[in-house]
Structure 1
């Protein structure tokens, strides 16, 4: 495969995926190509996209083609009426504690919040935003909780190193809580599938 074909193949894979595509996954798909070369291809594609409404963003340790923020209001019109259950204030508060304190036990979370958190933890586990990381080496060996890749995708982060300051995340969580329709950087594959569906109706 020549370089021109390789670039198109990498672009097609990222475009078609609903989830971020990790560099390890791309290396497995193109075993003859070095990691650095794949990364350079993505950088080159983004240079070509400068005049376009989309870009390739690094999210949750992988690459995803998304619309640029300045076009979100337009894209929201495609998603009119499509909402996902919003997180409650308690869930957002608990999630922020876990994000900064992880791995953290329920007892530690409740000590900070001052209220029982069983139900909230169950909701966050069900949503896939947190996961049980193990048990603490203390009396009773309580479960320890941490965030997931789904958490990173939910907030548009590549990794935990990109977490904002506590004051900034509080504002971000409040914004997430009050949003009626959730359209972060919208995946181009999701938008194209929705557009196709609307055309069939």
Structure 2
């Protein structure tokens, strides 16, 4: 009896091809690296849907790739635990420094950036101080400029912090820290001067501030 070549091919393939789980893992690798690159430059948490759209992959595949990255950075299966982590916040994913490394990162930033704040940073800090909690997009709307790098600078200096997420948009909100009060020599934000007399028209985005 002659052997069925189709069956033989199938048998050979089953012996040489990886299992279904291995194939799924291999398929997730390039997606995971693409997601890693995107998240590295993202300023806001990215939802699974937005990430899936960015890499052109199904949401389920993106979810699997995200789980793979989380495990990788956490040092699962005997790997090296990274100094950063991939964390889900406000319905999205974003890189964060691990909490235990916050002090060394803060010291590094302060050492590398001993100069005074720029005018743009001071203006952004004032907006946050008077309007907190406030999202980055709202800050940008008030200042009419992109504030991404400035907000990162203020975060690095420890003058502002991420306080919560907006219930409607999921965007991160920012507020000032105790360090700002120390630099200003005040005990609370209630001691900040009234902003209206300092503005030419008494408004400029601060019209509802006392």
Query: Which structure exhibits the higher relative contact order, with contacts defined as CA atoms closer than 8 Å and separated by 6 or more residues?
Result: 1
Larger Rg: 2
Calculate the TM-score normalised by the size of structure 2: 0.43
